[in-house]
Every structure is written in C-alpha cells, then in structure tokens.
A and B are shown apart, each in its own frame.
Chain A
Amino acid sequence: MELLEPQPLIFEKSRPGARAARFPAFADGGADLDAAVPAQFRRREAAGLPELSEIEVVRHFTRLSQLNFSVDTHFYPLGSCTMKYNPKVNDRMAALPGFAAMHPYQPAATAQGALELLDDLEHLLCEICGMDRFSLQPAAGAHGEFTGLLVIRAHLKSKGEGHRNKVLVPDSAHGTNPSSARQAGFDVVTVPSLPSGQVDVAALERLAGPDTAALMLTNPNTLGVFESRIGDMAAIIHRAGGLLYYDGANMNALLGLARPGDMGFDVVHLNLHKSFSTPHGGGGPGAGPVGVKAFLDPYLPVPRLRRVEGALAWDHDRPQSVGRVRSFAGNFGILVRAYTYIRAHGAEGMERNSRAAIINANYLKAKVRARYREAAPGPCMHEFVVVPDEAIARGIKVADIAKRLLDFGFHSPTLSWPIRNCLMIEPTETESRETLDRFADALTRIADEAASDPEKVRSAPHRLPVRRMDEVAAARNLDLRA
C-alpha cells in the first residue's frame, strides 16, 4: 500500500525547474536589484529551496499528515498528558468571525463580546477550582507555574518575608516543578514519597520551616493516587508560613468532584490543553491560566479586566503586579475553545467526564495487572503506573513494548516516568470500553510475545512505513546539510 511507504524528504523530491505559480514579468523590466538592495544584503547563491509543482507539495504534506499518530486517528494513552478528544465544536466557535477576525489592538469598546467571554471564563475557572481570581495570560503549564511562583515571591516580599527561598517539591512531581521554582529564583527541596506513592507527610513536616516559600503539589499525584492527607499537608505548610501551589496537570480526575481551593491551595494553574480539551502537542498552542485566593490578587499579571459602568476594560494600574507574562490576552483562540468545552458539558457533564476518566483507568488497570505489576496497588484516579517485570527480566525494554504497541494501532503510554521501566497509562474519558479492551488485549499479547518471541518485540514496529530508527547512528553521525 503506497500510503505505508516511507516518504522521501521534500528536498529529495525536488526537480529543477518545477514550480507552482509563474509570475508575469514586470512590464517595465522591474526595479534595478543592485540599486534597490545593498550588496551585503543580497544572496550570493541560490536559497536551496525544493522545486516542486503545487500538487506535489499538497500530496507530500497530506501524506505526511496521514502517517501521523494523533487523538483524531488513534488511542493515545500518554500518561499525565490527558490526550482527550478535542471536540470539533470548539474549533467552530473559535473560527466564528467575531473571534477569529479580531485584532488585539482594536478598542475595547468594539471587543466587548470577546472580553465578556474572557471575564466569564475567569469566573467559571474560579468556580471549578474554588479560587477567587484567575489570570488567563500564561501560555502553557510550566508558564503558569512560573507565573504562580512569581506571584508567591511578590507576596512574600511585600510581607517582608523575601528571605523564604525554599520550594518543596515531592520526588514524584513533574520535572517542570523544580525547574520553574529555580527559574523563579527559589531553591528546591525534594520531599520523599512513601511506598504507597503518597507524600511522606512526616518528612514534609521535618522539611517545612521558616525558609519555606511554598509546596508544589499535583493531586492526584503522578502515580494516579489521590493525596488523601492533603488537609494535613496544607496545615503543615501554612503553619510554617508557606503557600500551597497546585499543579493542575491531573485536574481531569477532579472536575466537578473536588476543588483545589477547598483543599487549601493558594495558587493553582490549569492546563486547558489537558483537562479542558484544547489541542495538546504538535504546537497546541497551550494555555496555563493561574488562579489565586483573593489575598494574592494584587500580584497577578497586568492588565486585568475591570468593569467600568457596565463595560469591560483593561486595567493596567496595578502597582503590585508581577507584570505582563504574555502578549495581549494570552492564547485567545484556545481560551474560546476551553470556554466552549465548559459550556457544552456544564457542571454535570464535566463531573461525568471525570468519573468516566477514573472508571476507565481502573477498568484498564484491572485488565492488565495480571501481567503488568501495579506501582501503587489499590484504586487509582484517572491514570496508573505499571511495571512489566516479566518482559524486563527477559531483557526487553519499555521502549520496545511502546514500539510494538504501534503495530496494534496504539500510541505509546508515557515511559519510565515517574519511576524506572514503567508504563504510565491515562485512557481519559474519551475511550469506549471496546477500545480499552483492544488495548488491554494488545498489552497482554505483547507480554506473551516477550516470553515466546522476544525478538519480535525488540525489533518492533513491523507494520509501519518506517522501522525502528537507529538513534545511536543518527546522533553520532549528524547530517546537518540543509
């Protein structure tokens, strides 16, 4: 089948003289290039661009797009990424001319509809999370973390507690947590986990103190386990004079069920490209709104929306603000999509989705645990972590299992994180029971193959246009000709 053949590079398809558009010559012969462009700005040799007809370009990129694994084509159980379906109605709303054809510099008086949407979205996110204010500016999860930590730092400084320079981060945290803390000027202290996967609260108590600025926490955590002692942890951190930061990466387990604000968190960020069904991966772009309790409101990024005599306007006069963190109003088109998702599902629908995400994960875990050891036994939330002990004992790597899954038409789970040699699986609410059954069957079959025909797993994939890449050769013999 032609579609399954490897595709040459567009440069390899180039034929001298082939082209799409032909422009007529200038009637007057055109401007004198030498006179119009100074010598140092003139190209001395051809740009080396490929030469193809229009249909060749269209076919090239269409075929490449057909080779892609995406949520629209395949089950995508990439743990901690919430690769749920991106409803097409989101795109339709974002494409409405009233939104899509706006200009960020047009006067606020002519953009009241868009500003109402932003204002309404802020209030909806507050209600969903139990927070008082949200900034929609940050353009990604880690950007939200960084912004939230700047807010915390500004607050501590204004209280005369700028000496608090330690951010506590559990060892199972997303890697972005410690790096965001460092970027925001804090030192990172790692909090150990218990064998159950939960934070070691006794250790947290020992580590919290007069230098504590904040604890960053994901709940449920990266093993898919709910931190049931969150109330104790909040009390410990607040008693020590620090703040609680909620990483919303795993919020898909909690929508409509529990609110970070009620758990004691002072700052949260959400990943709209995870929990709120906006595109994720491939450039997204993302959106990582940051929510705070009222006492942190003065520090949120400028400008803020303010209602003056019934109309919304941007308020730049906020002297304690950490400043602007993103141009204009953030990734506006993405915010429209998230708003559409919330409005389409409503409070009940989002709660149903979270329940389905949790049930799907538990169902899938129950189906695979006979062959894949659970990292945290017991019920999970929206995702779970398993270790393929049998296969690893036979010298098979988790990456081999991931490549073999491609043959069955499944994207890989997250690998070797948060623990070594593991698969981190997040089915989301999107998938049907039939899809989950097929995925569990594929994992079981791969476990069988690991014993009966390990080479088949090691040399996978077998049914894709390209076989396994030689990463070592590619890295050792870089070909950077362009």
Chain B
Amino acid sequence: MKVPDHLKYTATHEWVRIEGDLAAVGITDHAQAELTDIVYLELPAPGKQVTAKSPVAAIESVKAASDIYAPVSGEIAEVNAALPGDPGAVNARPYESWMFKIRMSDPGELAALQDADAYRKSIGG
C-alpha cells in the first residue's frame, strides 16, 4: 500500500495535503483497497462549515458505504466536482483524487494528524 511521505493522515483513513491555509482531503490507498470498487461519492457544498472528525462526505463501494470525516475544522473552500462522475478514479489514483479543500480555522489541529510512518504502522504496513 502506498503511503506518501509528504502527506498527513487520520485514523479514519483520510489523507491531508497542506496548501497554505487550505487542507486538501482524499482517502488513502489502503482505504480504497478495503472499500473495493467505488461507485458513488457525495461531496459537501462549498461554503459549508465543518468541524474536525465530523462526517462531511459519503462514499459507497460495491462492498460498503462509509462517511468521510473532516480532518480539520473550517469552511469547505472547494470541491472536486469532476470526481462524483468518475468514482473509479479514487481507486485508480487515490492520492490525486482530492475530494474537497477546507479553509482551516485552526491550523493547530494539524498537530493531531499522523505522519506517514505512524499511519503505515497503524495499517500494519
């Protein structure tokens, strides 16, 4: 399973890429492999206020349905509108398939996220 070193991770298998005051969020390679073929993705509306660890998006595979949680608090600044039309991209390219970007209200929350080593360990890699 790929776990790129430059990203941050949550215990609920989201990855986070810091872009200034924005946090781009997707799901990890491990998460997509566990879910298997993803068939549906529901993204939040831009402008929505979100709190860390609360569900903000929904994902469904042929095997399971799951929530995607906000790794940090803030406002949804942007969503990847092309992704719901091509959910298979999350399986094929999990780390290119960002789902939404949060304008962080408290960048201090980033400290609670795992680095690549810790996440790798948590999934038994």
Q: Which residues of chain A have a CB within 8 Å of any CB of chain B?
A: 471-472, 475-476
Contact = CB atoms under 8 A, between A and B. Distances in A.
15 contacts: A471-B37, A471-B62, A472-B37, A472-B39, A472-B62, A472-B88, A475-B37, A475-B39, A475-B40, A475-B60, A475-B62, A476-B39, A476-B40, A476-B87, A476-B88
Given A472-B39, A472-B88, 11 more contacts: A471-B37, A471-B62, A472-B37, A475-B37, A475-B39, A475-B40, A475-B60, A475-B62, A476-B39, A476-B40, A476-B87
Interface string B63-94: 00000000000000000000000011000000
Contacts of A476: 39-40, 87-88
Contacts of A475: 37, 39-40, 60, 62
Contacts of B37: 471-472, 475
Nearest to B60: A475
Interface string B19-52: 0000000000000000001011000000000000
Contacts of B39: 472, 475-476
Interface residues of B, number: 7
A326 B72 CA distance: 46
Contacts of B60: 475
A472 B88 CA distance: 9
Dominant SS among interface residues on chain A: helix
A471 B64 CA distance: 13
B94 to A, nearest CB: 17
A24 B62 CA distance: 51
Closest A-B pairs by Cβ, 5 of them: A475-B39, A472-B37, A471-B62, A476-B39, A475-B62
Nearest to B86: A476
A475 B39 CA distance: 6
Nearest to A416: B63
Contacts, number: 15
Contacts of A471: 37, 62
A472 B60 CA distance: 11
A384 B42 CA distance: 39
Contacts of B62: 471-472, 475
A476 B85 CA distance: 9
A282 B88 CA distance: 33
Contacts of B88: 472, 476
Nearest to A471: B62
Nearest to B87: A476
A471 B39 CA distance: 9
B92 to A, nearest CB: 12
Nearest to A475: B39
Nearest to A477: B39
A475 B37 CA distance: 10
A471 B37 CA distance: 9
A398 B39 CA distance: 21
Nearest to B39: A475
Contacts of A472: 37, 39, 62, 88
A100 B25 CA distance: 60
A476 B87 CA distance: 8
Interface centre among B37, B40, B87 (most CB of A within 10 A): B37
A179 to B, nearest CB: 15
Nearest to B85: A476
A475 B63 CA distance: 11
B59 to A, nearest CB: 12
Nearest to B36: A472
A476 B37 CA distance: 10
A471 B87 CA distance: 14
A414 to B, nearest CB: 15
A476 B39 CA distance: 5
B7 to A, nearest CB: 26
A396 to B, nearest CB: 15
Nearest to A420: B34
A94 B94 CA distance: 57
B31 to A, nearest CB: 15
B32 to A, nearest CB: 13
B40 to A, nearest CB: 7
B21 to A, nearest CB: 35
A395 to B, nearest CB: 13
Contacts of B87: 476
A448 B87 CA distance: 36
Nearest to A397: B36
A472 B40 CA distance: 10
A21 to B, nearest CB: 43
Nearest to B40: A475
A471 B40 CA distance: 13
Nearest to A476: B39
Nearest to B37: A472
A307 B71 CA distance: 63
A472 B62 CA distance: 6
A471 B38 CA distance: 11
A36 to B, nearest CB: 45
A473 to B, nearest CB: 9
B1 to A, nearest CB: 15
Contacts of B40: 475-476
B85 to A, nearest CB: 10
Nearest to A399: B63
